[in-house]
Structure 1
Amino acid sequence: MVRRRIRTAVAIVLLALMLFPVYWMLNISLSPSGGALPDSFFPTHPSLDGYATAIRDQGANLVTSLIVAFGTVLVTLVIAAPAAYALAQFRFRWINWALLTILICQMIPGIVIANALYTLFESMGLLNSIPGLIIANTTNAIPFGVLIMRSFMLSIPSSIVEAARVDGAGLVRAFVSIVVPISRNSLITVGLFAFLFAWSDFLFALTMSTKGTITPVTLGIFTYLGAHVSNWNAVMASAMLASIPAIILLVIAQRYIAAGATGGSVK
């Protein structure tokens, strides 16, 4: 009992330390003075002026980031799910080489990929466009998604799919009707991480948005700092608003993340 209480106390202290920057950011966003330091440790006279300014200036950027993030999730799942199933269930000699290639893709620095994509996108007319940002973000999400979903789909008995094939289902129908529902946890896990990859992306946004016509919220906050260094409540309010979608998705999908990351079982 004593050890459990000690562990609980230590966990609470560590959690408080990790969440303190978030609280400090919230405190400054509610400060009416707009300074870099809050008026008091607790916001005794909170003001929403910073949030009003942030919504006015960054609202369009938040919508752009949402479109890019959900587009990244869609493209990632459409490509990574069948690829992961093929690598998990089919027995070919080149499977190990394919997995090695995916791992190598994960190890390539993002700046290298960004520079290569910039040259390619310029010739294809995808610079300063939402499809271009979606494709760029999937270069991180798809290899990760394939590896995560493959580890889950290895546990799916081939007899289930074979039974569906005997009943007259084609390969696509068996995959959509049998494999996808069973792999729900891993799909949600990959989708959430793909969303977070795209939502927090700054490198691709900075490289692929050269004219300022398409501005995700990360790039918007970066450019916001130069013009609002004397109005920190608006800057911190923008950061708080940018944190809300990720927090909501993490809270909703946390149990699926745990199940999807550790594999699954088939009843």
Structure 2
Amino acid sequence: MKPARGRLSTLAGVALLAVMLFPVYWMVNASLQPAGALPGTGWFPLHPDLSGYTTALHDQGRNLLTSLVVSLGSVVLSLALATPAAYALARFPLRGTTPVLFGVLVTQMVPGIVVADALYGAYTGLGLLNSYAGLVLADSTAGVPFAILVLRASMRAVPREIVEAARVDGAGRLRILWSVVLPLTRNALVTAGVFSFLFAWGDFLFALTLNTTDTVRPVTVGIYEYLGAHTPRWNAVMATAVLASLPASALLVVAQRRLAAGVTGGAVK
């Protein structure tokens, strides 16, 4: 009975995976078809046509680069702010740690449109509309709280004896953080960095709200505007979607082991 149940579970898992991945397959399939309406797309690209990718790179190449710059900037800023904050919350005997952590959690629950509206008013006065710095700051509002929670859990799992030994050897707090704690929590750092990148890469709300010109336009907004202007050329639209999916997919594949370890790193002490 157990082998039979195992085979049924495997078949059910494969069926569910096929259903979830079918939109991805259809996106790739449509991107390799000749230009035309989507209803006329065949089930298989019998004669692959790369003209959609040529058009997508020509029209959306700058937007892809913009998304890459903004996402990497968000990763750097999120980790730079979250790392010392998480270390302080994990290691220092501070009063009010619980309310601070609750506040961090609350920031994750605030609807994005509320944050976007507030930032629009602030950015208008600060001159940060239509700028890379403005988008990096906005996207970091999602990356910083998540990074604090992940890093704090991992830093709390670092044995206190190791930290005390470094302190006895004369290392200061910053040296302990840099040379002892961070190497031991690198999986959590990778996890926080990857999710910060994904938050920024997939952002549409901030990108649409905080940009009133085409000066700084991430690929998410580019696809949104591209879709309305090029519906007769679905191969180019789908090719743009495929290109926009590649960086995030490659990052997840490369970092999957560290992601699994980083998410569960603070679960067992």
Same structural fold, with TM-score higher than 0.5 when normalized by the shorter chain:
yes
Give the distance between the partners of 2:183 and 2:268, measured in 1 at CA.
11
Which residue is 2:128 aligned to? 126
Residues 118-145 of structure 1, C-alpha deviation per residue, up to 9 Å, x if partnerless? 1111111111010110000000110111
1:37 is paired with a residue whose SS is helix
Indicate conservation of the 8 Å contact 1:25/1:240, yes or no: yes
Which residue is 1:154 aligned to? 156
- Structure 1 stretch 149-158 or stretch 213-222: which is displaced more? 149-158
Which residue is 1:180 aligned to? 182
CA-based RMSD: 1.5
One-letter identity of the residue aligned with 1:196: L
Which residue is 1:191 aligned to? 193
* 2:13 counterpart of 1:11: yes
| Alpha-carbon offset, residue 174 of structure 1 | 0.9
Which residue is 2:82 aligned to? 80
1:213 is paired with a residue whose SS is coil
| Alpha-carbon offset, residue 158 of structure 1 | 2.3
Which residue is 1:67 aligned to? 69
| Alpha-carbon offset, residue 97 of structure 1 | 1.0
Residues 201-220 of structure 1, C-alpha deviation per residue, up to 9 Å, x if partnerless? 00000011111210000000
User: Which of 206, 221, 224 is matched with 1:222 structurally?
Assistant: 224
Query: What is the percentage of aligned positions where both structures have the same residue?
Result: 55
Indicate conservation of the 8 Å contact 1:31/1:38, yes or no: no
Indicate conservation of the 8 Å contact 2:156/2:266, yes or no: no
What's the TM-score, normalizing by structure 1?
0.97
Give the distance between the partners of 2:155 and 2:251, measured in 1 at CA.
24
Give the distance between the partners of 1:92 and 1:264, measured in 2 at CA.
20
| Alpha-carbon offset, residue 165 of structure 1 | 1.7
**Structure 1 gap segments, 5+ residues each:** none
Indicate conservation of the 8 Å contact 1:84/1:146, yes or no: yes
Give the distance between the partners of 1:38 and 1:263, measured in 2 at CA.
49
1:212 is paired with a residue whose SS is coil
2:105 is paired with a residue whose SS is helix
One-letter identity of the residue aligned with 2:200: A
Indicate conservation of the 8 Å contact 1:156/1:265, yes or no: no
One-letter identity of the residue aligned with 2:131: S
Give the distance between the partners of 2:249 and 2:31, measured in 1 at CA.
17
Give the distance between the partners of 1:102 and 1:137, measured in 2 at CA.
15
Indicate conservation of the 8 Å contact 1:89/1:158, yes or no: no
Give the distance between the partners of 1:181 and 1:106, measured in 2 at CA.
27
Which residue is 1:254 aligned to? 256
User: Which of 225, 232, 238 is matched with 2:234 structurally?
Assistant: 232
One-letter identity of the residue aligned with 2:30: I
* 2:34 counterpart of 1:28: no
Give the distance between the partners of 1:264 and 1:105, measured in 2 at CA.
21
Give the distance between the partners of 1:42 and 1:247, measured in 2 at CA.
23
What's the TM-score, normalizing by structure 2?
0.96
Indicate conservation of the 8 Å contact 1:27/1:38, yes or no: no
Which residue is 2:45 aligned to? 43
The structure-2 alpha-carbon separation of the partners of 1:38 and 1:8, relative to structure 1 and needing over 3 Å to count, comes to farther
Give the distance between the partners of 2:197 and 2:39, measured in 1 at CA.
32
2:238 is paired with a residue whose SS is helix
| Alpha-carbon offset, residue 37 of structure 1 | 2.9
The structure-2 alpha-carbon separation of the partners of 1:187 and 1:63, relative to structure 1 and needing over 3 Å to count, comes to same
Indicate conservation of the 8 Å contact 1:34/1:234, yes or no: no
| Alpha-carbon offset, residue 166 of structure 1 | 1.6
Where has structure 1 moved over 4 Å in runs of 4 or more? 264-267
**Structure 2 gap segments, 5+ residues each:** none
Residues 228-262 of structure 1, C-alpha deviation per residue, up to 9 Å, x if partnerless? 01101000000000000011011111111111111
User: Which of 61, 85, 91 is matched with 2:93 structurally?
Assistant: 91
Which residue is 1:141 aligned to? 143
One-letter identity of the residue aligned with 2:29: N
| Alpha-carbon offset, residue 68 of structure 1 | 0.4
* 2:177 counterpart of 1:171: no
Which residue is 1:105 aligned to? 107
Residues 155-181 of structure 1, C-alpha deviation per residue, up to 9 Å, x if partnerless? 112221221122121111110000110
- Structure 1 stretch 174-183 or stretch 159-168: which is displaced more? 159-168
